Structure 1
Amino acid sequence: MNRSNRAHAMEPLPSHPAVAATSGADRGLVALLFALADDELIAGHRASEWTGVAPYLEEDVAFSSIAQDEVGHSALLYQLLADLGQGGGDPDALAFGRDPQDFRNAVLLEQPNGDWAAEIARHFLYSEYEAVLWPALARSPYEPLAAAAARIAREEAYHQAHFRQWVVELSRAGGEARERLASALARALPLAAGFFEPVDGEEQAARWRGTGLEELRRLWWAAVGQVLAEAGLAEPVLGQAGPGEPAGVEPADPGTEGGPAAPGIERGLGGRRGHHSPALTALLAEMTSVYRSDPAAEW
């Protein structure tokens, strides 16, 4: 894509605010659904960028399948939002017609792909988060979300197993593979705090989520710590912190709406309030370019 086309791709469209007030829709529920959907879409897009360049053919197929799963999950969730009147009832407008500040994904997920170890580290931390998130959501009092979550949880279990295996195998390989993975995990862990950043209307969102963020964070860290211990990575990743939590992965302060752009991005916060790194702007420019060339087109 040339410079002029890239600029055109990100021209503002009619706004579909990430947390718009809607009659009959709880603000916390809407905010929760946007965070869930945006996480899956952005994670899926980053995974798709490994198609054709993964370390070997079987893993190329696996990563492509994981990317397809994540984007498919986002489609389910955007449809729930459309059913609540968001985006004028159009799930495609929600996925492709919003500007970067309207997205509510965790900042870690939007970061540009690094080396293979960095990608494994990111997806491992995210898959462990999803492993505790979706079973909780399957108990949501909002039945459409509970039904979607039950389906998603079954598929995410395969992702979790896949990335756990990679963490253990890279560590046991020793040498540069182990060193790169340990370094990547140490860099990614503080950014993972963004998974647990409160959404707008968090008190209501917790009711629809089925559990609070602190409980999710506790379960997530127990699972992550167990895998790191099994892989012999607890000390190299956490250093003097030992089996405790790494700096930065603490319950996030809800902050305030608006204000300067993402002062908390350095520790993974800001995404749930629409504060993102420049990486998301570039990602969306490319991902949405075809849709934005003619939003009214029928394909």
Structure 2
Amino acid sequence: MNKKKYKNGQAYAFLSPFLVLVAVFYILPAFITVAMSFTNLDSAFQWHFTGLKNYEKIFRDPNTLTIIRNTAVFVLIAITGTVVLDLFFAVMTTYFIKSERVSGVFKAFLMIPMITPAVVYSVLWIWLLEASDAGLVNQLYTALTGSLPLNWIAKYPFQIILFATVMVSFAYGTTIFSSAIKSIPENQFKAARVDGASEWEIVKSIILPNIRYHIQFITLWETLGLLTNYVTIMLITDGGPGIKTEVWALSAYHKAFRDQQYGYGAAISMLLIVVVLILMLFVNRVMNQRDRR
């Protein structure tokens, strides 16, 4: 017993620096954010508990419904596009392209947007879509159509942030799906070909069922990431024009750090956390029910 306690003590000693860091930088800020959401903390940094007034203010805000709609549309379209492209590139580079060298080069290109710092990535989009003749897209547009340059970001803000977000997202899912496809036993493909199955039938009846749990994982993972991510939107459009591209996470940032309504921003963040937790529990329950079947 003493030897076991000694081993446990050693384990806790090795883990203690990590646990302290987690407590200081994750757990403690989480409790502070919860407490802050019930205060009117602002630029004066004076704490006055106001109960549920911040939450009531959220639902009285005329912009709340627009922001919720923006968030829902953004997440649904982005997650659909991301998963579809993940599957397409994974199947193409793993099943149809047999050469590891060729598929590896292609996957390396897919990784570039993901490993590029968000600031650099967003600045590249702003430069490409520059409203003057200096923008690369406008140079092509004016050369092909003879029209005047367009302010693409102002005219198509939602489409641009969706496209920019999906470009960053699909590399991770493609890597996961590719690894899952490689783990499928080769005899399943051989048996399907002997039975006369077409390539589409092999993809539909063998590849997709075998990687269904990976699809569920990527869908959940990317959905959670999209709900809490706002950096690309902030850097490209900053939620504009007006609030056309304002999503829930960006709204929390704006209220807290631009308007210095820290208590109100914390309340918006708390509602987002509640939505994420409910979504995680729902998906987990659905997956468990499918496993039991």
- For normalisation by structure 2, the TM-score amounts to 0.25
| Structure with greater helix percent | 2
